[in-house]
Structure 1
Amino acid sequence: MSRTTHLDREVGQAFSALSAAAKKGLGDPGLAELVVIRASQINHCAFCLDMHLAIARKHGVSEKQLDLLAAWEEAGGLYDERERAALALTEVVTVLTEGFVPDAVYDNAAKYFDDTRLAHLIALIVAINNWNRVMVGRRIPPGGYTP
């Protein structure tokens, strides 16, 4: 199978539907892009980084936020508390090194997101991790995305 064939059509549609529903339910396109970019950084997914950086710019995410996202914890007030809570949750759900999400991280996110938006945030993190694993696993190079 060619590396340009990313996914079976049915699987791709399911992944896309999950991603779209999660983003819609989160209700903040800029934050959604910060989340998917951060997960993609952790997972070293060049294809998804290339794609979502372009989308983030389209949604008005600042270049400074994009430039410093890998070091968001050290970036002072560049990210607000809601963004910081979402990014912390993104990191622990993406990595799961302890086998669970620490209560402090979950509880902090729950302060900024109601139950529905928190569920959508977690679904978005799961969705981008799915995409990252497919693209990295298939070694899909950046540059194939056109807005």
Structure 2
Amino acid sequence: MEPTKRTTHLDAGVRTAMQGLSAAAKRGLGDPALAELVMIRASQVNHCAFCLDMHLELARKHGVDEDRIQLLDAWEEAEGIYSERERAAFALTEAVTVLTDGFVPDEVYEHAAQHFDDAQLAHLIGLITVINGWNRLMVTRRIAPGSTEW
């Protein structure tokens, strides 16, 4: 059975606020390629085809190598492909996205804090939070990849 298409448009004020938060978090992180990889990883976990499609394209525009994109879903096993800083960001992304035990484990947070200064870590957490919000908005409304009706 095919899922019912849901075409509820996003309120312009909500969209503008979300876009502003996303832009601020990306700017503060200071690494556009890492920002796109983080957003891809969260979107993979959340099964958001719309966001995956968008951020895969943006990652390529920021020069992310195709191997790094292809192996992101298995980043823990892809030794030597990602830096320790990136791996810390991916672990934090997964911990914030899933919240399996209701919190982010101290060791995951502390590992990320070793690779990002306070301001960068705050922006990384903001970025993870906003992409999770976008994922939920798009998945709930079943917005298709490449859609302009969101």
Q: Give RMSD over aligned pairs.
A: 1.2
**How far apart are the structure 1 equivalents of 2:122 and 2:10?**
26
Instruction: Identify unmatched segments of 5+ residues in structure 2.
Output: none
Matched, 1:96 2:99: yes
1:55 aligns to what? 58
Instruction: Identify unmatched segments of 5+ residues in structure 1.
Output: none
- Runs ≥4 in structure 1, deviation > 2 angstroms? 2-6
Give TM-score scaled by structure 1 length.
0.95
Structure with the larger helix share? 1
Q: SS of 2:80's equivalent?
A: helix
Output one character per residue of 1:87-137: Cα deviation in whole Å (capped at 9) or x when no partner: 000000000011111010000000010000000000000000000000000
Give TM-score scaled by structure 2 length.
0.93
1:40 aligns to what? 43
2:145 aligns to what? 142
| Mapped contact 2:48–2:139 kept (Cα < 8 A) | yes
| Mapped contact 1:110–1:118 kept (Cα < 8 A) | yes
1:73 aligns to what? 76
Matched, 1:118 2:124: no
**How far apart are the structure 1 equivalents of 2:108 and 2:27?**
23
Output one character per residue of 1:66-102: Cα deviation in whole Å (capped at 9) or x when no partner: 0000000000110000000000000000000111110
Q: Percent identity?
A: 71
| Mapped contact 2:85–2:115 kept (Cα < 8 A) | yes
**How far apart are the structure 1 equivalents of 2:147 and 2:68?**
24
The number of residue pairs the alignment matches comes to 144
Q: Structure 1 residue 6: deviation in Å?
A: 3.7
